[in-house]
Amino acid sequence: MKKKGEHSNSGIRRDARHPQFSELSMMYEGMSEDIVLRTPDLSAHGMFINTPKEFAEGSILKLRFRLTRTGVVIQTRCEVRYCLAGVGVGVEFVGISEESIRAIENEIGVVAVVG
C-alpha cells in the first residue's frame, strides 16, 4: 500500500522531461480557484507540476500552456498520477489530440520511431 506522497512508478518515467513552455494554468475540474504553479518538466504524455496544492491520485485537471519555441498553445485534461506533498504533482495527459502530441514532440526534439 502506498503512503501519501509516494508514487507508484518508483522514479521510472515513461518519457524524458523537458522545461519547454510558458503561460501554464491549471484548474481542478469543478473548481474556479487560482492554483499557484511553477514551471514544470514536460514530456509528450505528461508533466510534473510544482505546486504546494495537493491533489488526490486520479483527480482530473485542466491544463493550458504555450510551447516556448513554437508558440503553440496546448489545452488538455490530465489525471494526477502521484502527488508529492508540498512539492507538486505528476500528471498524465488525458484525451490530448494527436496534433498536440506532435507539437510537444517537435518542441522537445523527440523523434518518433515507426515500427
Q: Is the pTM of this model over 0.75?
A: no
Structural contact between residues 32 and 52, judged by C-beta atoms closer than 8 angstroms = no
Residue ranges covered by each domain of the chain: 21-108
- What is the separation of C-alpha 26 from the centre of its chain, rounded to a whole number of angstroms? 10
| pLDDT tens per residue across span 15-55 | 655 555 566 666 676 666 666 566 668 889 999 988 888 99
What is the C-alpha to C-alpha distance for residues 74 and 21, in angstroms, rounded to an integer? 10
Tell me what pLDDT residue 115 has.
47
Tell me what pLDDT residue 72 has.
93
CA end-to-end distance (rounded Å), the chain: 37
Across 103-115, average pLDDT? 73
Tell me what pLDDT residue 112 has.
52
3-state secondary structure of 99: helix
Would you place residue 1 in the very low, low, confident or very high pLDDT band (cuts 50, 70, 90)?
very low
What is the C-alpha to C-alpha distance for residues 96 and 52, in angstroms, rounded to an integer? 25
Residue 110 grid coordinates: 523527440
Strand-pairing partners, residue 26, are: 63
What is the C-alpha to C-alpha distance for residues 104 and 1, in angstroms, rounded to an integer? 34
| pLDDT tens per residue across span 56-106 | 999 999 998 888 888 899 999 999 999 999 899 999 999 999 999 999 999
Sign of CA dihedral 23, 48, 19, 97: negative
CATH code for 21-108? 2.40.10.220
